[in-house]
């Protein structure tokens, strides 16, 4: 099995699916390499290098560099998907969804409902999100909770290269709109990825660590942080379930509740803001559906309710760290020094 970076796994998925499905198109800002470039094999494939080589292989009719306009990108993608094209649109930074919010919230998310199920919208919107690379307040946000709250959208958040490829292939083949959120700090993460075709069903969480003492739920970059905390706790004789949600809509409620029923303690780790966020939503779910199983108050490990800082030291203090997750587990267990 090949070992590759997450950006390479995403690129491989796009290459394989464009070869398999001649109706698939890709569009976005600099997905070729920039307006006016030759567009040959030397094209970088965007600033994240996730679309490298697509233009050279599939040409200008299927790989389209757009103007720097999120509303144009999503508007064009939505119209193409509604009329039968299968589309992958890239937003270079998720922070700028405000520019195209009407297209996403009032159009894409509602096509199936507004037309009585007689149409489909096979559109994947790839969004690059997240903090940890010193990109400052306007390029480091995690708006997944806001997108999760919108009925009609599926929201996928891979945490590793294997999942990135399998989930992206599943998303592209889905007949409904999927927000595919790629954490910029994970693009260089390496892992084993099969070169053959495979998909991962959207809506099924992954248990990445097993233990009876506490449940840690996380997404994206926070899954790796949670796993590191669980490893440190294991050395102290504390065993934790670590649940990678993979998607926030649909949410695998059964996996969350089953784990909490077993452990009796829940720690939710989320990179998004704490107010009206994913951590609070999951805490509310467990409080209402598994309250009698809880042996301790639910712990939520999130950033403070502030913009993302630019300074390296402040950004690290802003982001939840493995040490904070470890301390939250110890608090839930009533251990001294937590």
Instruction: Give residue-wise pLDDT tens across range 237-255.
Output: 999 999 999 999 999 999 9
For residue 37, the model assigns a pLDDT of: 54
The H-assigned helical ranges of the chain are 6-20, 54-58, 70-82, 101, 111-114, 144-148, 161-173, 221-234, 253-263, 278-289, 312-318, 322-332
Give the residue extent of every domain in the chain: 2-193, 206-332
Which of 15, 139, 144, 204 is labelled catalytic?
Answer: 139
* Rounded CA separation 163/166 (Å): 5
Q: Is the pLDDT of residue 56 over 70?
A: yes
17 pLDDT higher than 70 = yes
CA-to-CA distance for 151 and 147, rounded, in angstroms? Answer: 9
Flag whether pLDDT at 338 surpasses 90.
Answer: no
The yes-or-no answer to whether 2-193 and 206-332 have a common fold is yes
Confidence of residue 42 (pLDDT cuts 50, 70, 90): very low
Place of tokens 């394989």: 16
Coil, helix or strand at residue 67: coil
pLDDT at 33: 77
**What average pLDDT does this structure show over 79-88?**
96
Percent of the chain having pLDDT more than 70?
Answer: 96
* Residue range 73-97: mean pLDDT, rounded: 97
**For residue 150, is pLDDT > 60?**
yes
Asked whether the predicted pLDDT for residue 153 surpasses 90, the reply is yes
Q: Give residue 47's pLDDT.
A: 85
Q: What is the mean pLDDT of residues 45-54?
A: 89
Q: Take residue 173 and report the two structure tokens written for it.
A: 């083949």
How far apart, in whole angstroms, are the C-alpha atoms of residue 261 and residue 267?
13
| 204 is a catalytic site residue | no
Least confident of 4-8, 30-34, 81-85, 185-189: 30-34
Of 212, 302, 300, 220, which is closest to residue 264 (Cα–Cα)? 212
Residue 55 predicted with pLDDT over 60: yes
Helices (H) and strands (E) in the chain, counts: 12, 14
Question: What pLDDT is recorded for position 46?
Answer: 81
Per-residue model confidence (pLDDT) at position 45: 79
Average confidence (pLDDT) over 84-110: 97
Mean pLDDT value across residues 302-322: 97
Question: Is 2-193 in CATH node 3.40.640.10?
Answer: no
Question: Given a cut of 50, is residue 35 above it in pLDDT?
Answer: no
CATH architecture of structural domain 206-332: 3-Layer(aba) Sandwich (3.40)
């Amino acid at each position: 099995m090949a070992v590759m970076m997450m950006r390479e796994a995403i690129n491989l998925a796009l290459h394989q699916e464009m070869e398999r499905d001649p109706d698939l198109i890709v569009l976005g800002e600099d997905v070729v390499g920039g307006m006016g470039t030759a567009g040959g094999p030397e094209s970088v494939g965007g600033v994240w290098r996730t679309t490298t080589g697509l233009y050279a292989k599939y040409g200008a009719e299927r790989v389209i560099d757009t103007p720097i306009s999120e509303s144009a990108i999503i508007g064009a993608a939505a119209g193409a998907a509604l009329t039968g094209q299968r589309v992958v649109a890239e937003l270079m930074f998720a922070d700028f969804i405000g520019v195209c919010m009407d297209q996403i919230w009032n159009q894409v998310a509602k096509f199936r409902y507004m037309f009585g199920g007689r149409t489909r919208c096979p559109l994947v919107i790839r969004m690059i999100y997240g903090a940890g690379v010193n990109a400052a307040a306007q390029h480091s946000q995690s708006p997944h909770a806001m997108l999760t709250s919108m009925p009609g959208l599926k929201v996928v958040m891979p945490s590793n290269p294997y999942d990135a490829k399998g989930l992206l292939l599943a998303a592209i083949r889905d007949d409904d709109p999927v927000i595919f959120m790629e954490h910029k700090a994970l693009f260089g993460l390496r892992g084993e990825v099969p070169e053959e075709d495979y998909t991962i069903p959207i809506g099924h969480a992954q248990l990445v660590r097993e233990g009876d003492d506490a449940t840690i739920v996380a997404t994206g970059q926070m899954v790796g942080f949670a796993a590191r905390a669980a490893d440190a706790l294991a050395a102290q004789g504390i065993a934790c379930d670590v649940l990678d949600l993979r998607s926030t809509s649909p949410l695998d409620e059964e996996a969350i509740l089953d784990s909490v029923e077993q452990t009796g303690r829940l720690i939710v780790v989320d990179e998004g803001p704490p107010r009206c966020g994913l951590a609070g939503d999951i805490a509310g779910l467990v409080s209402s559906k598994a309250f009698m199983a809880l042996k301790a108050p639910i712990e939520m490990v999130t950033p403070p309710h502030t913009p993302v800082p630019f300074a390296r030291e402040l950004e690290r203090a802003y982001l939840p760290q493995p040490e904070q997750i470890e301390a939250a587990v110890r608090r839930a267990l009533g251990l001294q020094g937590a």
